[in-house]
Amino acid sequence: MSDPIQIIVFLILGVAAIFAFFKFLEKRKRVIENGIEVTGIVFESSKNAPVDYTNSTNFKSSCPTIRFVTKEGLWITGQADYGNSGFFLKQGQEVTVIYNAHNPKEFIYKTSTDLSKLGYLLLIIGIASISIALWFAYKYLTSEN
């Protein structure tokens, strides 16, 4: 028998994952529409940076730090929103950067391994989580108390 707490947890997880997916797509679309493509380098990767596994922001710490120069000559160094640089990127490796012309600190990067497709994993997790919550709700409502 499933209890209502499980149902609520899976529903919240699913809604949060789907919300994160759409925010990810919105930023990506905005950057690509207003974007300027330049070459950047991986300034720091998670291989070289200490990782604190007790920290709730650990996912962000596993994203690479990218440095690039805008067309106007402004140096930008910032942490990417996605990617596990420990597996795919090495410090000093060149990457293609697309930055928002109106806000250069908002950027995405491209490599031969396209990590942007990982955003769709959030959508799959969200749909699966909501489906599990609905299944638990069905079992809970049809069970004899």
pLDDT tens column, 16-56: 999 988 988 888 787 877 789 999 998 887 654 444 444 44
Would you say 45 and 86 are in contact if contact means Cβ atoms under 8 Å apart?
yes
Bridge-partner residues for 107, per DSSP? 99
Q: Where are the domains of the chain?
A: 4-142
Q: Is the pTM of this model over 0.75?
A: no
pLDDT tens sequence across 132-145: 999 999 998 888 65
